[in-house]
Amino acid sequence: MAKAVAMVVALLAVAAAMSAGGASAQRCDPGGLAVCAPVILTGVAPAPACCSNLRAQQGCFCQYARNPAYGPYINSPNARRTLASCGVAIPHC
């Protein structure tokens, strides 16, 4: 389990580094979603910090979902349940 969480955090950090450079890159920070990694991997209830970060980056979800590095996590059933638990609309990309 710890390896899976570490892998998600590493993937999010790589994605953040790859997207750095533009105005939208500052708004879309996949590394900020690392707080949600345990929730997405295990399906446990999200913490307020996770929900807050999801709301802040709601406009970035389609961009994240199209990225092969972390699209499978963003498109997972647990990610959709997390969005619903946080009251964040599930994107239609």
Does 59 map to a domain?
yes
Q: What is the pTM of this model?
A: 0.70
In a domain, 40, yes or no: yes
> What are the tens digits of pLDDT across the range 25-62?
447 888 989 999 999 999 999 999 999 999 999 999 99
Inside any domain, residue 11: no
Is residue 3 in some structural domain? no
Longest dimension (CA), the chain: 35
User: Residue 68 is part of a domain; what is its CATH number?
Assistant: 1.10.110.10
Number of structural domains in the chain: 1
Q: 44 and 38 in contact (C-beta within 8 Å)?
A: yes
Residues, the chain, total? 93
Could you tell me if residue 19 is inside a domain?
A: no
Containing structural domain, residue 69 = 27-86
Kindly state whether residue 7 falls inside one of the protein's structural domains. no
pLDDT, residue 85, reads 95
In a domain, 60, yes or no: yes
From the list 27, 23, 38, the residue with the least C-alpha distance to 61 is 27
